[in-house]
Amino acid sequence: MDELGAILDVGRHHGEGYEPVIDSDGEWIVALMNWCRSVTLADLGKIEKHVNTDEVFVLTAGRGVLIAAPRGDEPTDLRVVDMEPNVVYNVKREVWHGLILSEDGRTVIVERRGPETVARTPTEAHRAAITAEVEKVLAGETLPFPPVSKLVAVGRHEAPGYAAVIDSDCDWIAAIINGGSPSVSLTPEKTMAYHPDTDEVFVLTKGRNALLVAPPGDAVTDITVVPMDLNVAYNVKRGTWHASCLSADATMLVAEGRDPAGVSTTLTPDQIAGIEGAVHDVLGP
Protein backbone atom coordinates (compact mmCIF):
# COMPACT_ATOMS: atom_id res chain seq x y z
CA MET A 1 0.00 0.00 0.00
CA ASP A 2 2.88 2.39 0.71
CA GLU A 3 4.30 1.75 -2.77
CA LEU A 4 0.88 2.33 -4.34
CA GLY A 5 0.50 5.55 -2.35
CA ALA A 6 3.62 6.90 -4.03
CA ILE A 7 1.91 6.85 -7.43
CA LEU A 8 -1.81 7.10 -6.63
CA ASP A 9 -3.75 9.38 -4.26
CA VAL A 10 -7.30 8.40 -3.26
CA GLY A 11 -9.71 11.07 -2.04
CA ARG A 12 -12.92 10.04 -0.27
CA HIS A 13 -15.67 12.10 1.34
CA HIS A 14 -18.93 10.54 2.49
CA GLY A 15 -19.97 13.13 5.06
CA GLU A 16 -21.96 16.32 4.63
CA GLY A 17 -20.70 19.46 2.93
CA TYR A 18 -17.63 20.45 0.94
CA GLU A 19 -14.28 18.66 1.21
CA PRO A 20 -11.17 19.12 -0.98
CA VAL A 21 -9.89 15.59 -1.60
CA ILE A 22 -7.17 15.97 -4.25
CA ASP A 23 -4.54 18.71 -4.43
CA SER A 24 -2.87 18.22 -7.80
CA ASP A 25 0.73 19.10 -8.55
CA GLY A 26 -0.63 21.79 -10.87
CA GLU A 27 -2.69 24.74 -9.67
CA TRP A 28 -6.04 22.99 -9.34
CA ILE A 29 -7.88 20.89 -6.80
CA VAL A 30 -10.73 18.38 -6.86
CA ALA A 31 -13.38 18.51 -4.14
CA LEU A 32 -16.50 16.52 -3.29
CA MET A 33 -19.63 18.36 -2.21
CA ASN A 34 -22.48 16.43 -0.59
CA TRP A 35 -25.80 17.64 0.74
CA CYS A 36 -25.74 19.78 3.87
CA ARG A 37 -28.01 22.46 5.30
CA SER A 38 -26.14 25.28 3.55
CA VAL A 39 -27.09 23.90 0.11
CA THR A 40 -30.83 23.77 0.78
CA LEU A 41 -33.30 26.37 -0.44
CA ALA A 42 -34.29 27.30 3.10
CA ASP A 43 -30.74 27.71 4.40
CA LEU A 44 -28.74 28.60 1.29
CA GLY A 45 -25.62 29.97 2.89
CA LYS A 46 -24.07 32.11 0.18
CA ILE A 47 -23.93 33.27 -3.40
CA GLU A 48 -20.33 33.76 -4.45
CA LYS A 49 -17.99 34.51 -7.33
CA HIS A 50 -14.34 33.61 -7.87
CA VAL A 51 -12.12 36.36 -9.21
CA ASN A 52 -9.28 34.11 -10.35
CA THR A 53 -10.81 30.79 -11.42
CA ASP A 54 -13.53 28.98 -13.29
CA GLU A 55 -15.31 26.31 -11.23
CA VAL A 56 -16.59 23.00 -12.58
CA PHE A 57 -19.58 21.17 -11.08
CA VAL A 58 -20.69 17.63 -11.96
CA LEU A 59 -23.81 16.15 -10.37
CA THR A 60 -23.19 12.47 -9.64
CA ALA A 61 -26.24 11.59 -7.50
CA GLY A 62 -29.61 13.06 -6.59
CA ARG A 63 -30.99 16.34 -7.93
CA GLY A 64 -29.05 19.57 -8.16
CA VAL A 65 -29.58 23.21 -9.06
CA LEU A 66 -26.95 25.74 -10.04
CA ILE A 67 -27.85 29.35 -9.36
CA ALA A 68 -26.08 31.71 -11.78
CA ALA A 69 -26.11 35.50 -11.99
CA PRO A 70 -24.25 37.92 -14.29
CA ARG A 71 -20.93 39.49 -13.38
CA GLY A 72 -21.16 42.65 -11.33
CA ASP A 73 -20.70 44.13 -7.89
CA GLU A 74 -23.78 42.35 -6.54
CA PRO A 75 -25.74 39.23 -7.60
CA THR A 76 -28.88 40.19 -9.53
CA ASP A 77 -31.14 38.52 -12.10
CA LEU A 78 -30.61 35.02 -10.72
CA ARG A 79 -31.05 32.09 -13.14
CA VAL A 80 -31.88 28.50 -12.19
CA VAL A 81 -29.98 25.71 -13.99
CA ASP A 82 -31.45 22.21 -13.62
CA MET A 83 -28.33 20.01 -13.42
CA GLU A 84 -28.27 16.75 -15.34
CA PRO A 85 -26.25 13.82 -13.98
CA ASN A 86 -22.76 13.33 -15.45
CA VAL A 87 -22.86 16.60 -17.38
CA VAL A 88 -20.03 19.09 -16.75
CA TYR A 89 -21.08 22.64 -15.82
CA ASN A 90 -18.29 25.23 -15.86
CA VAL A 91 -19.13 28.44 -14.01
CA LYS A 92 -16.91 31.09 -15.55
CA ARG A 93 -14.73 33.32 -13.42
CA GLU A 94 -16.46 36.30 -11.75
CA VAL A 95 -19.92 34.82 -12.37
CA TRP A 96 -22.08 34.77 -9.24
CA HIS A 97 -23.24 31.27 -8.38
CA GLY A 98 -24.70 29.02 -5.73
CA LEU A 99 -25.59 25.34 -5.37
CA ILE A 100 -28.71 23.61 -4.05
CA LEU A 101 -28.88 19.82 -3.64
CA SER A 102 -31.49 17.24 -2.74
CA GLU A 103 -30.76 15.22 0.39
CA ASP A 104 -29.16 12.46 -1.71
CA GLY A 105 -27.26 14.97 -3.85
CA ARG A 106 -23.54 14.63 -4.56
CA THR A 107 -21.26 16.71 -6.78
CA VAL A 108 -17.66 16.76 -7.96
CA ILE A 109 -15.97 20.18 -8.10
CA VAL A 110 -12.78 21.27 -9.90
CA GLU A 111 -11.29 24.71 -9.29
CA ARG A 112 -8.02 26.59 -8.83
CA ARG A 113 -6.21 26.06 -5.55
CA GLY A 114 -6.89 28.93 -3.14
CA PRO A 115 -9.63 30.68 -5.12
CA GLU A 116 -10.08 34.40 -4.51
CA THR A 117 -13.74 34.54 -3.51
CA VAL A 118 -16.34 37.26 -2.94
CA ALA A 119 -19.47 36.05 -1.15
CA ARG A 120 -22.89 37.49 -0.39
CA THR A 121 -25.63 36.22 1.91
CA PRO A 122 -28.81 35.57 -0.12
CA THR A 123 -31.62 38.02 0.56
CA GLU A 124 -35.30 37.23 0.83
CA ALA A 125 -35.68 38.76 -2.64
CA HIS A 126 -33.08 36.30 -3.98
CA ARG A 127 -34.94 33.37 -2.45
CA ALA A 128 -38.30 34.56 -3.76
CA ALA A 129 -36.89 34.84 -7.30
CA ILE A 130 -35.75 31.21 -7.43
CA THR A 131 -38.08 29.32 -5.09
CA ALA A 132 -40.71 28.13 -7.58
CA GLU A 133 -38.20 26.75 -10.08
CA VAL A 134 -35.95 25.18 -7.45
CA GLU A 135 -38.90 23.43 -5.84
CA LYS A 136 -39.90 21.99 -9.22
CA VAL A 137 -36.42 20.53 -9.76
CA LEU A 138 -36.21 19.03 -6.29
CA ALA A 139 -39.67 17.51 -6.82
CA GLY A 140 -38.41 15.72 -9.92
CA GLU A 141 -39.54 18.02 -12.72
CA THR A 142 -37.21 18.91 -15.59
CA LEU A 143 -36.68 22.56 -16.46
CA PRO A 144 -35.57 23.89 -19.86
CA PHE A 145 -32.00 25.18 -19.98
CA PRO A 146 -32.02 28.95 -19.34
CA PRO A 147 -30.12 31.55 -21.42
CA VAL A 148 -26.87 31.45 -19.44
CA SER A 149 -24.27 30.51 -22.08
CA LYS A 150 -22.20 33.57 -21.21
CA LEU A 151 -22.19 32.52 -17.56
CA VAL A 152 -22.05 28.72 -17.58
CA ALA A 153 -20.46 26.46 -20.19
CA VAL A 154 -21.94 22.96 -20.49
CA GLY A 155 -19.91 19.89 -21.49
CA ARG A 156 -21.69 16.70 -22.62
CA HIS A 157 -20.36 13.42 -23.99
CA GLU A 158 -22.51 10.34 -24.47
CA ALA A 159 -20.57 8.34 -27.09
CA PRO A 160 -18.08 5.60 -26.09
CA GLY A 161 -14.52 6.68 -25.29
CA TYR A 162 -12.81 9.92 -24.22
CA ALA A 163 -13.78 13.52 -25.00
CA ALA A 164 -12.51 16.77 -23.51
CA VAL A 165 -15.66 18.79 -22.77
CA ILE A 166 -14.46 21.86 -20.80
CA ASP A 167 -11.29 23.89 -21.35
CA SER A 168 -11.11 26.19 -18.35
CA ASP A 169 -9.50 29.61 -18.47
CA CYS A 170 -7.05 28.27 -15.91
CA ASP A 171 -4.53 25.50 -16.68
CA TRP A 172 -6.82 22.44 -16.56
CA ILE A 173 -9.45 20.68 -18.61
CA ALA A 174 -12.38 18.42 -17.76
CA ALA A 175 -13.20 15.34 -19.83
CA ILE A 176 -15.65 12.45 -19.81
CA ILE A 177 -14.84 8.82 -20.60
CA ASN A 178 -17.63 6.37 -21.34
CA GLY A 179 -17.35 2.60 -21.57
CA GLY A 180 -17.94 0.62 -24.73
CA SER A 181 -14.79 1.68 -26.60
CA PRO A 182 -11.84 -0.63 -27.32
CA SER A 183 -9.54 2.06 -25.92
CA VAL A 184 -11.02 1.53 -22.45
CA SER A 185 -11.40 -2.26 -22.66
CA LEU A 186 -8.92 -5.08 -22.04
CA THR A 187 -7.99 -6.11 -25.59
CA PRO A 188 -4.86 -7.80 -27.00
CA GLU A 189 -3.74 -4.30 -28.10
CA LYS A 190 -4.20 -2.72 -24.67
CA THR A 191 -1.93 0.26 -24.05
CA MET A 192 -0.80 2.13 -20.95
CA ALA A 193 0.44 5.71 -20.90
CA TYR A 194 1.93 8.32 -18.60
CA HIS A 195 1.98 12.11 -18.53
CA PRO A 196 5.33 13.70 -17.64
CA ASP A 197 3.75 17.13 -17.07
CA THR A 198 0.47 16.63 -15.20
CA ASP A 199 -1.40 14.61 -12.62
CA GLU A 200 -4.67 13.10 -13.85
CA VAL A 201 -7.73 12.68 -11.63
CA PHE A 202 -10.46 10.11 -12.30
CA VAL A 203 -13.89 9.96 -10.62
CA LEU A 204 -16.13 7.03 -11.56
CA THR A 205 -19.75 8.16 -11.49
CA LYS A 206 -21.47 5.11 -13.01
CA GLY A 207 -20.60 1.48 -13.72
CA ARG A 208 -17.24 -0.14 -12.90
CA ASN A 209 -13.60 0.50 -13.71
CA ALA A 210 -10.42 -1.47 -13.21
CA LEU A 211 -7.74 1.22 -13.02
CA LEU A 212 -4.32 -0.09 -14.07
CA VAL A 213 -1.29 1.66 -12.57
CA ALA A 214 2.44 0.94 -12.73
CA PRO A 215 5.47 2.77 -11.31
CA PRO A 216 7.35 5.41 -13.32
CA GLY A 217 10.10 4.06 -15.55
CA ASP A 218 11.16 3.45 -19.12
CA ALA A 219 8.95 0.35 -19.34
CA VAL A 220 5.77 -0.93 -17.71
CA THR A 221 6.43 -3.25 -14.76
CA ASP A 222 4.52 -4.39 -11.67
CA ILE A 223 1.01 -3.51 -12.86
CA THR A 224 -1.53 -3.09 -10.07
CA VAL A 225 -5.27 -3.44 -10.77
CA VAL A 226 -7.23 -0.97 -8.62
CA PRO A 227 -11.03 -1.45 -8.37
CA MET A 228 -12.48 2.05 -8.40
CA ASP A 229 -15.30 2.96 -6.02
CA LEU A 230 -18.08 5.26 -7.16
CA ASN A 231 -17.76 8.98 -6.34
CA VAL A 232 -14.20 8.65 -5.07
CA ALA A 233 -11.35 10.70 -6.61
CA TYR A 234 -8.25 8.81 -7.80
CA ASN A 235 -5.25 10.98 -8.63
CA VAL A 236 -2.66 9.30 -10.87
CA LYS A 237 0.56 11.20 -10.25
CA ARG A 238 2.66 12.50 -13.10
CA GLY A 239 5.00 9.94 -14.60
CA THR A 240 2.82 7.00 -13.50
CA TRP A 241 1.82 4.47 -16.14
CA HIS A 242 -1.97 4.05 -16.19
CA ALA A 243 -4.97 2.84 -18.16
CA SER A 244 -8.64 2.09 -17.58
CA CYS A 245 -10.82 -0.93 -18.25
CA LEU A 246 -14.41 0.29 -18.03
CA SER A 247 -17.64 -1.67 -18.02
CA ALA A 248 -19.84 -0.93 -21.02
CA ASP A 249 -22.25 1.13 -18.89
CA ALA A 250 -19.56 3.18 -17.13
CA THR A 251 -19.06 6.94 -17.06
CA MET A 252 -15.98 8.61 -15.58
CA LEU A 253 -15.00 12.24 -15.04
CA VAL A 254 -11.40 13.25 -15.77
CA ALA A 255 -9.49 16.38 -14.72
CA GLU A 256 -5.95 17.04 -15.97
CA GLY A 257 -3.61 19.75 -17.16
CA ARG A 258 -4.33 21.32 -20.53
CA ASP A 259 -2.59 19.68 -23.54
CA PRO A 260 -0.80 16.99 -21.54
CA ALA A 261 2.23 15.35 -23.11
CA GLY A 262 1.86 11.58 -23.23
CA VAL A 263 4.03 8.51 -23.66
CA SER A 264 2.29 5.20 -24.41
CA THR A 265 3.22 1.57 -24.91
CA THR A 266 1.37 -1.62 -25.82
CA LEU A 267 1.23 -4.31 -23.17
CA THR A 268 2.76 -7.68 -23.92
CA PRO A 269 0.63 -10.86 -24.03
CA ASP A 270 2.25 -11.97 -20.76
CA GLN A 271 1.37 -8.66 -19.09
CA ILE A 272 -2.24 -8.92 -20.27
CA ALA A 273 -2.44 -12.51 -19.05
CA GLY A 274 -1.07 -11.40 -15.68
CA ILE A 275 -3.87 -8.88 -15.08
CA GLU A 276 -6.76 -10.48 -16.96
CA GLY A 277 -8.17 -12.34 -13.96
CA ALA A 278 -8.09 -9.31 -11.68
CA VAL A 279 -9.72 -7.10 -14.33
CA HIS A 280 -12.51 -9.61 -14.87
CA ASP A 281 -13.04 -9.79 -11.11
CA VAL A 282 -13.67 -6.02 -11.09
CA LEU A 283 -15.83 -5.87 -14.19
CA GLY A 284 -17.77 -9.08 -13.58
CA PRO A 285 -19.32 -11.31 -16.25
Q: Is 22 found in the same domain as 47?
A: yes
Q: Within 13 Å and on the Cβ side, how many CA atoms surround 129? A: 14
Q: Is 253 found in the same domain as 227?
A: yes
Distance separating alpha carbons of residues 50 and 96, to the nearest angstrom:
8
Q: Is 214 found in the same domain as 143?
A: no
Q: What's the 3-state SS for 114-127?
A: CCCEEEECCCHHHH
Predicted structure pTM score? 0.94
Among 132, 154, 176, which residue terminates a domain?
A: 154
Q: Is 196 found in the same domain as 94?
A: no
CATH of residue 134's domain is 2.60.120.10
Instruction: Tell me the pLDDT tens digit for each residue of 3-37.
Output: 788 899 999 999 999 999 999 876 789 999 999 99
CA of 278: how far to CAs of 9, 242, 245, in Å?
Answer: 21, 15, 11
Instruction: Tell me the pLDDT tens digit for each residue of 34-58.
Output: 999 999 999 998 999 999 889 999 9
Whether the CA torsion 178, 180, 184, 186 is positive or negative: it is: positive
Do 145 and 79 contact (CB within 8 A), yes or no?
Answer: no
What domain count does the chain have?
2
Among 89, 121, 154, which residue terminates a domain?
A: 154
Q: Is 167 found in the same domain as 87?
A: no
Instruction: Tell me the pLDDT tens digit for each residue of 62-98.
Output: 999 999 999 999 999 999 999 999 999 999 999 999 9
| Domain residue limits at 188 | 2-8+158-283
1: confidence class by pLDDT, cuts 50, 70, 90: very low
Q: Give the whole-number percent of the chain exceeding pLDDT 90.
A: 85
Q: What is the SS3 assignment for 87?
A: coil
- pLDDT at residue 208 is higher than 90: yes
Q: Is 148 found in the same domain as 21?
A: yes
User: Count of CB atoms within 10 A of residue 73's CB?
Assistant: 7
Strands of 113-220, DSSP E: 117-120, 152-155, 161-167, 172-178, 191-194, 200-206, 209-214
Please tell me the predicted confidence (pLDDT) of residue 38: 94
Instruction: Tell me the pLDDT tens digit for each residue of 253-270.
Output: 999 988 888 999 999 999
Q: Give the whole-number percent of the chain exceeding pLDDT 70.
A: 99
- Max Cα-Cα span within the chain: 66
- pLDDT at residue 117 is higher than 60: yes
Q: Is 88 found in the same domain as 122?
A: yes
Please tell me the predicted confidence (pLDDT) of residue 26: 67
Radius of gyration in angstroms for the set of CA atoms belonging to the chain, rounded to a whole number: 20
